[in-house]
Amino acid sequence: MSTLNIDQARAAFPSLASGFIFGDNAGGSQVAQPVIDRFTDYLINTNAQLGADYSAPEEARKLFNAGSTKEIVFGPSSTANLENLARGLEKGINPGDEFIVTGEHEANAGPWKALAQRSGASVKLWKHTTSNESNPYSLTLRTGAVLPLITSRTRIVAFTACSNILGSIVPVKEFTREIRARAAEVGAENLEISVDCVAYAPHRKIDVQDWDIDFCVFSYYKVYGPHLSALYVRDKSLRTSVSSIVHHFLSPHVDAIGYKLQPQGPGYESVYASTGVNQYLLSLTPSNDLDATFNAIALHEQTLLEPLLNFLNEPKQWKRGVKIVGDEKLSLNRVPTVSFVVADDPPVKSSDIVKVFDDTGKIGIRYGHFYAYTLVDELRPKVDVNDGVIRISLVHTNTSEEVQAIIETLRKALSLS
């Protein structure tokens, strides 16, 4: 199995030369040199109103493992892409239809809530449960909490492949199989599944065909690329569920392609630059294979995650009131996005802990709800949703030395609070 050459990986990011430790990569990754090169090449050499580069949908198709480039939609953000999808589905939604959403990243919840308000549908919340009785913040998503919610009127089930708060990877294929089996039992014939891969895509390979899902989205700017999002819409849905939201004179010509959900012209320079993401990812392993790349990324990220979890799980820190939000254990089913709170009595503000990092001028981590407002709001009464959780989000370009620097700053911050 291939291993990562970390020096080579880091050399592809000019911003890392500053020595600053980027510790909130889930909020936005650094941009790889191949992306920068294509961005500037477009602006210098091909900045004409001729249309987006045709190789871009193919490169996005590979990242989704979609069956066709016709199933790919580009948009400015994942929220915008899913909002456009919801509008494209609106004509087929009836009063009394039901949407099931989680409390995680609002990109895959807000558009369905808004659609429900417009159409007379209703929204049900798929709630998290705790995995450790001694830690009320050890939230996890289980299908046992969603299957009873599915009825014959269920139209959409929306969840995340990986939470940007909890850091846990859900078994999408297993979840989908159980959801579809329950839908068949109750007669939910038109149920479609939407999966948010924004926090998943930097760490693991997406496979929409193997997962058997209808919609999927990720953000290139979380995967070393430009500020752009890609949306997958299954061919069957494009043909039977989705109505065109583009100009009326274009609609007859886009019946079975993703362009019917692309009313805006996405920034051509960003679309072209996005093709550099695959170039970078494929450079990380000798086999020039995305599966090998993501396997190597997963293994390296475990070496970053282990010391951080070990520190936060120390009896001393536990007694201090430090509680990890989500899965506390090292596992390949967990990415190195770690959120925690200091739930003393009274609790310590997350913003106070992060301020110690800000004062160093050398390390960036963040606090807040990170647009997973409903999930963080479940952490009451000791967590103020507006102060939120402390989040440290690492990626494969982080080093063990950087993790140790983060841990030492955390140790200082906890001793001062």
| Last-in-domain residue among 226, 256, 279 | 279
Co-location of 244 and 311 in the same domain: no
In a domain, 268, yes or no: yes
Q: What is the CATH number of the domain that holds 246?
A: 3.40.640.10
Phi-psi region of 163 (alpha: psi -120 to 50; beta: other; left: phi over 0): beta
Phi, psi (5° rounding) for residue 258?
Answer: -60, -20
**CB hemisphere CA count around 417 (13 angstroms):** 27
Co-location of 106 and 239 in the same domain: yes
Co-location of 198 and 99 in the same domain: yes
Q: In what order do the strands lie in the sheet with 215-219?
A: 72-75, 229-233, 215-219, 192-196, 154-160, 98-102, 122-126
Co-location of 267 and 404 in the same domain: no
> What is the structure's pLDDT at 304?
98
Structure tokens at 19: 């020595």
Report residue 45 CA to chain centroid gap: 33
Q: What is the 3-state secondary structure (H, E, C) of the chain?
A: CCCCCHHHHHHCCHHHHHCCEECEHHHCCCCCHHHHHHHHHHHHHCCCCCCCCCHHHHHHHHHHCCCCHHHEEEECCHHHHHHHHHHHHHHHCCCCCEEEEECCCHHHCHHHHHHHHHHCCEEEEECCEECCCCCCCCEECCHHHCHHHCCCCEEEEEEECECCCCCEECCHHHHHHHHHHHHHHHCCCCCEEEEECCCCCCCCCCCHHHHCCCEEEEEHHHCCCCCCEEEEECHHHHHHCCCCCCCCCCHHHCCCCHHHHCCCCCCHHHHHHHHHHHHHHHCCCCCCCHHHHHHHHHHHHHHHHHHHHHHHCCHHHHHHCEEEECCCCCCCCECCEEEEEECCCCCECHHHHHHHHHHHCCEECEEECCCCHHHHHCCCCCCCCCCCEEEEECCCCCCHHHHHHHHHHHHHHHHHC
pLDDT in tens, 43-77: 888 775 555 555 899 999 999 999 999 999 999 99
In a domain, 336, yes or no: yes
> What is the structure's pLDDT at 254?
80
Q: Compute the CA torsion angle 129, 81, 270, 392 (nearest 10 deg).
A: -10
> What is the structure's pLDDT at 48?
58
In a domain, 95, yes or no: yes
Co-location of 242 and 101 in the same domain: yes
Q: Compute the CA torsion angle 205, 211, 214, 219 (nearest 10 deg).
A: -20
Co-location of 325 and 241 in the same domain: no
> What is the structure's pLDDT at 209?
98
> What is the structure's pLDDT at 378?
87
Residue pair 137/379 in contact (Cβ under 8 Å)? The answer is: yes
Please give the single-letter amino acid code of residue 297: I
Q: What is the spatial distance between Cα 176 and Cα 124, in angstroms, rounded to a whole number?
A: 17
Residue pair 342/320 in contact (Cβ under 8 Å)? The answer is: yes
Tally the domains of the chain: 2
> What is the structure's pLDDT at 173?
98
pTM of this structure:
0.96
Co-location of 306 and 246 in the same domain: no
In a domain, 201, yes or no: yes
In a domain, 57, yes or no: yes
> What is the structure's pLDDT at 256?
74
Paired strand residues for 334 = 168
In a domain, 14, yes or no: yes
Co-location of 304 and 401 in the same domain: yes
346's CB contacts (< 8 A; 6+ apart) are none
Q: What is the spatial distance between Cα 141 and Cα 131, in angstroms, rounded to a whole number?
A: 9
Co-location of 20 and 85 in the same domain: no
| Last-in-domain residue among 245, 279, 313 | 279
Co-location of 119 and 177 in the same domain: yes
Co-location of 271 and 386 in the same domain: no
Co-location of 106 and 132 in the same domain: yes
In a domain, 1, yes or no: no
> What is the structure's pLDDT at 1?
62
In a domain, 96, yes or no: yes
List, for the chain, all residue ranges whose pLDDT scores fall below the cut of 50: none
Domain span including residue 214: 35-279
Q: What is the CATH number of the domain that holds 16?
A: 3.90.1150.10
> What is the structure's pLDDT at 273?
95
Number of residues assigned to the chain: 417
Phi-psi region of 217 (alpha: psi -120 to 50; beta: other; left: phi over 0): beta
Mutual angle of helices 55-64 and 268-282, in 10-degree steps? 50
Report residue 85 CA to chain centroid gap: 17
Phi, psi (5° rounding) for residue 250?
Answer: -95, -30
Mutual angle of helices 350-360 and 400-416, in 10-degree steps? 120
Pairing of strands 389-393, 337-342: antiparallel
Residue pair 103/378 in contact (Cβ under 8 Å)? The answer is: yes
| Last-in-domain residue among 258, 279, 300 | 279
